[in-house]
Amino acid sequence: DGKRENRLREKVSYAVLNPKSRKWGSMRFLAMPTKDHSGATITGANAGCTQRVDLPNGDILLPVRYWRDPKKHNYTSIVALCAFDGKTLIYKKHGSEHNIPQGRGLYEPSLTKFDGQYFLTMRANHSAFVTRSKDGIHFEPIREWKFDDGQVLGSYNTQQHWVTVSGGLFLVYTRKGANNDHIMRHRAPLFIGQVDLRTLRVMRDTERVLIPENHATLGNSGICRISDDESWVTCGEGLIWLGKRKGQFNKVLFVKITSR
């Protein structure tokens, strides 16, 4: 009715930039299959808050989340292999389907490629999960994000993203246990830490604060990979109407990461 959000009507949406005119085309929708490999319906498919991988042949590996049961708000996440001819995005196939029964399932998936492998991180209500793949669509069983000492990372109910720079794979995230109980869902500060490729755990000694906590949430960041030696992180502050900065305008923050 145009007055209330209906997540079941969400679609994978995109627009194409004309490189000559530098103008964006109209919004278009990716046609998804009606059912997944389990036979469940694919409802409310969405590719928001993700990182994709563009392949040398022009194909795109696009992380997508969807509902299997329209009556239960629980997401399943996949990576869809899509063709792109410069105008239209076309679904070709997808591989493994990742889900947990708790809460809203697994969602807001982000993908990257590093050292000949693909890595996928996914949000859950109570934690966060990671897996890897050789082909970008078929993945190992998921594992919960942890530090290299075995302690749970503590990132929950918000997204994580990847940075590949200086010959390393890094995770950008928020977490509990950082003197941040006053921040909604512990969504600040924004951290970065290097990932051990063997164990898929964050090496605690490498953790650094990427954007300090300043009485605002920083959970929804974005990554732009410029080159092998440079990535940009953008993040808009949220929930400024609460706490010590109530009434202030929020800030959009920008961090440039370069290798030495």
Strands 190-196 and 89-94: unpaired
Q: In this predicted model, what pLDDT tens digit does every residue of 196-238 receive, in sequence order? A: 999 999 999 999 999 999 999 998 999 999 999 999 999 999 9
178-191: average pLDDT: 96
Q: Is 41 exposed, middle or buried (0-12, 13-18, 19+ CB in 10 A)?
A: middle
Model pLDDT for residues 75-132, shown as the tens digit of each residue: 999 999 999 999 999 999 999 999 999 999 999 999 999 999 999 999 999 999 999 9
pLDDT over threshold 80, residue 2: no
Domains of the chain: 1-144 (2.120.10.10), 145-260 (no CATH)
- Bond before 56 cis per omega within 30 degrees: no
Q: What is the pLDDT of residue 20?
A: 95
Q: What is the pLDDT of residue 3?
A: 82
* CA 93 – CA 100 distance, rounded (Å): 22
